[in-house]
Amino acid sequence: MYQKMKGTYDITTEIQYFHAVEKAIQSVSRLFNYQEIRTPHFEASELFHRGVGEDTDIVGKETYDFKDRGGRSLTLRPEGTAGVVRAYIENKLYAEKRVPQKYYYYGSSFRYERPQKGRFREFRQFGVEAFGAKSGELDAEVIAYAVTLFRALKLKNFIVHLNSLGGKDSMSRYRKALKEHFKPHLDKLCEDCNRRYETNPLRILDCKIDADTKPFKKAPKSIDHLTDEDRKHFDTVKAALTAMGIDYKIDHSLVRGLDYYTDTVFEIKDTSAALGAQDVLCGGGRYDHLVESLGGPSTPAVGFGIGIERLIIALQAGDFPVPEPSVHVYLLTLGEEARIEALKIANMLRLGGISCETDFLNRSMKAQFKQSTHHNARFVAIIGEEEVQNQTVNLKDQKERSEETLAVQDLYNAIYEKLTGKQDDCNDCEHKKGE
């Protein structure tokens, strides 16, 4: 038997959750005025190496790299931003008249990792990127977008972690301060941290092994090394969040693992314990130099990524109502003629927006009744020889627990009225009149 590849999975009954999330994404994107952008699932390897950063774990050990038949070195995208930035530059979207240019993306990303809860080799990511404005208020709007999405999905147990790394000047000051601070303690730090000390001292703060040690706790804070300008930017972000009623927690150890971040960085963590070690639902920040470093004009930008699988795990732990698949009418047939008649009736009902299911196996009445339950049918329409003869249908309303004999020509109106009551829209599902 063939098996799916490690770290991938088939979406079957859970599709309902994906639809719910996708619907929320579309409606929140509309509210915040973000346009969807779709970019390829693979790009030249070079793009991710330069975009995400050669020294990051993602590029160093997690990318799916392969050579195509033309000998090109390609990589399945490990995250969304690099591809969107490439498209932004290549399509000269910076010349768009609307500023800032705000995009969202949704789709699979790939990382070669050992799978565990909330972590897959192929996973879906949703993210937004806003280009063209260096504004703390835009940073705050991006965070507000994520929070709004979570609220729309009835999530309650999450918290925004916030920090600022500052721009190039602030960061180099901070790096120097960190190195000075940790230098006398290097022998006490783990192997990884010693390596990070040379390659990227900021990442030492990410370490969980050394997190409880004294030098770690006394480590200098990035926000104490911001230039006046960067400090002002961060103050604007915080004020804007407060103005929008968004709670946040300043997290001095939050540095993020991707190289391109500047100034604001944030994560939104799930606090329900449903996600185990992978509690980061959303991660993002400002990246003011990425567009330029990938060959575009100097363009400030800010964005985030959200893991759809993690979001859905959080959703399932919460009380988000997910509708069961259902059908309006189950046509229960008895005999050959009745089946033909049922097809005609189903066709007629479907044209009017009423969904139908019927029996294709010539099964017993009992079996068909069971099927109608499995299909969550509101109505069972019984069609036997007698009904075919008289052009009638025996209609059972499973909700009202009533049964009546109706002329075929009256069937549609009767069902429609019961489904919609006095309103225009179906009360049982999302069917709208005229659709």
Q: Which residues bind RNA (CB under 7 A)?
A: 3-8, 56-58, 62, 79, 111, 113-120, 123, 125, 192, 203, 206-209, 256-258, 267, 276-283, 305-307, 309-310, 334, 363-367, 369-374, 380, 382, 384-387, 394, 396, 398, 401, 403
Q: How far is the CB of 83 from RNA (least distance, A)?
A: 13
Q: Calculate the alpha carbon distances from 396 to 5, 8, 63 in Å.
A: 47, 43, 57
Which has the closest alpha carbon to 123: 257, 9, 270?
9
Q: Which is nearer to RNA, 242 or 316 (CB)?
A: 316
Q: How far is the CB of 1 from RNA (least distance, A)?
A: 8
Whether residue 100 has a cis bond before it, omega within 30° of 0? yes
Q: How far is the CB of 208 from RNA (least distance, A)?
A: 3
What distance in Å separates the CA atoms of residue 313 and residue 279, rounded to the nearest whole number?
10
Q: How far is the CB of 99 from RNA (least distance, A)?
A: 26
Q: Which is nearer to RNA, 259 or 288 (CB)?
A: 259
Q: Which is nearer to RNA, 207 or 231 (CB)?
A: 207
Q: Which is nearer to RNA, 93 or 393 (CB)?
A: 393
Per DSSP, helices labelled H in 106-219 are 136-152, 168-182, 191-199, 214-217
Q: How far is the CB of 133 from RNA (least distance, A)?
A: 22
What distance in Å separates the CA atoms of residue 24 and residue 410, rounded to the nearest whole number?
38
Q: How far is the CB of 277 from RNA (least distance, A)?
A: 3
- What token pair was written down for 240? 């804007």
Q: Which is nearer to RNA, 62 or 428 (CB)?
A: 62
Please answer whether residues 59 and 49 qualify as being in contact, where contact means their C-beta atoms are separated by less than 8 angstroms.
yes
Which has the closest alpha carbon to 178: 212, 216, 227?
216
DSSP character at residue 116: B
Q: How far is the CB of 204 from RNA (least distance, A)?
A: 9
What distance in Å separates the CA atoms of residue 323 and residue 430, rounded to the nearest whole number?
10
User: Under the phi-then-psi rule, with left for phi > 0, alpha for psi from -120 to 50, and beta for the rest, what region is 392?
Assistant: beta
At residue 201's C-alpha, the angle toward residues 197 and 205, to 5°, is 110
Tell me whether residue 52 is exposed, middle or buried, using C-beta atoms within 10 angstroms of its C-beta: 0 to 12, 13 to 18, 19 or more.
Answer: buried
Q: Which is nearer to RNA, 254 or 349 (CB)?
A: 254
Please answer whether residues 252 and 177 qualify as being in contact, where contact means their C-beta atoms are separated by less than 8 angstroms.
no
Q: Which is nearer to RNA, 8 or 227 (CB)?
A: 8
Please give the backbone phi and psi of residue 323, each rounded to the nearest 5 degrees, phi first: -70, 140
Per DSSP, helices labelled H in 200-335 are 214-217, 228-243, 290-293, 308-317
Which has the closest alpha carbon to 291: 143, 59, 139, 92?
92
42-44 and 73-76 strand pairing: antiparallel
Q: How far is the CB of 280 from RNA (least distance, A)?
A: 4
Q: How far is the CB of 21 from RNA (least distance, A)?
A: 13
Q: Which is nearer to RNA, 97 or 114 (CB)?
A: 114
Q: Which is nearer to RNA, 135 or 368 (CB)?
A: 368
Q: How far is the CB of 210 from RNA (least distance, A)?
A: 9
DSSP character at residue 188: G
Q: How far is the CB of 259 from RNA (least distance, A)?
A: 9
What distance in Å separates the CA atoms of residue 376 and residue 257, rounded to the nearest whole number?
47
Q: Which is nearer to RNA, 92 or 249 (CB)?
A: 249
Q: Calculate the alpha carbon distances from 347 to 60, 80, 410, 419, 429 in Å.
A: 57, 44, 15, 18, 20
Q: Which is nearer to RNA, 43 or 309 (CB)?
A: 309
